Structure 1
């Protein structure tokens, strides 16, 4: 496991910290669609993403969800950090977008390392900053962009995370992520198909030209 940790975090952490992560971290494998964190959950460990993609969402009282950002390998979730350090419940829901592997770090170690390793402090602060910028980008998108612009940005990001021009996603999935109706998404996708920018298939979308 140490080699896998070094591959993802060796450029960030010193050897002593990498060894500690290897000694106390617990590997967790999840399948696409598995729920990793639910709203209202108390967290006893912080996840470091070793492989895969995780989708982080905000859920309202009626169960409607808004996608905040994606996590990729080598990253962690600032919302999780806040819950761990403050002993509060989770305000977000996280679901595996693809089959993923996570390294679970106990809360007490996370706090200990903040005082022990400068590289860990920098990683935590950088993670907070990056997640904040992504949340602000989501807010800006909702406030200032039209739905067709948000849809295009969503498809580009999906393609990047899957590293594939064909995205396995339903119209309803997109509607949930963008907090709109399936009818609106279907209409916009058909418009994109008519202009030869995408190809609609059953439960998948082929990107042709959305640059």
Structure 2
């Protein structure tokens, strides 16, 4: 049930009164894997709190190619969406369900009121900003300083943590799109990692050893 899931994921972060208000004013939605939850240039009237599943946050270059910025896990929110909401601007990112996910969408008007009136919500938002800022800095460092094979292995390790499984079900093309490179490059580097006994390859499946 949505209310039980909301309490389970956020009771250690938000006070009971606020959770009741979120339940009363929020809109609960479910998305299937690969569904677009928020798109670039979309006007945002709600911000998402992720109850279950995972979401990847992407930027788009001038040629329409996606670049992975970070992943959201259950119990988190997208602070880039928050920034757009607070500034009443359109979304600068695309949020895509990495796997089947459920969310509660919170209207901007109540979110802004809570920021001024509720300490637990204010702390949650500020901590979320810090976490996402650190992750974006890490993404910039990866792009600037890490070789593609290092980025690929780090990507796989993050997938293992996210899915809580050493078995990753994914196509080489999907990895290539996330890392902003070609499928041929990814396939070659995966084979290299397999030769280094870091992973084991199967059809549309990777086991991290």
Same fold (TM over 0.5): yes
Aligned pairs for 1:131-170 within 5 A: 131-170=132-171
| 1:189 alignment counterpart | 190
Establish whether residue 42 from structure 1 lines up as the match of residue 43 from structure 2. Answer: yes
Question: Which residue does the alignment assign to 2:178?
Answer: 177
Aligned to 1:69: 70
Aligned length: 208
Runs of 4+ in 1 over 2 A off after TM superposition: none
Q: Distance between the aligned counterparts of 2:128 and 2:106, measured in 1? A: 15
Other structure's SS at 1:104 match: strand
Query: Counterparts of 1:127 and 1:197 in 2: how far apart (Å)?
Result: 32
> What's 2:87 paired with?
86
The whole-number CA distance in structure 2 between the counterparts of 1:198 and 1:12 is 37
**Partner of residue 6, structure 1:** 7
CA RMSD of the aligned region, Å? Answer: 0.9
- Cα displacement string for residues 3-62 of structure 1 (whole angstroms, at most 9, x for unaligned residues): 221111111111111110111111100001100011110011110000010000111121
What per-residue deviation string (whole Å, max 9, x for no partner) do you get for residues 99-129 of structure 1? 0000010110101111110111111111111
- 1:101 matched to 2:107: no
CA distance in 1, matches of 2:207, 2:13: 36
- Indicate the residue corresponding to 2:34 in structure 1: 33
Identify which range, 101-110 or 194-203, moves more after superposition. 194-203
Deviation sequence 1:161-198 (CA, Å, 0-9, x none): 11111111111111111111111111111111122221
Unaligned runs of 5+ in 1: none
Q: Using structure 2 for the length normalisation, give the TM-score.
A: 0.97
1:24 alignment counterpart = 25
In structure 2, the residue matched to 1:120 is: 121
Is 1:59 matched up with 2:60?
Answer: yes
1:206 equivalent to 2:178? Answer: no
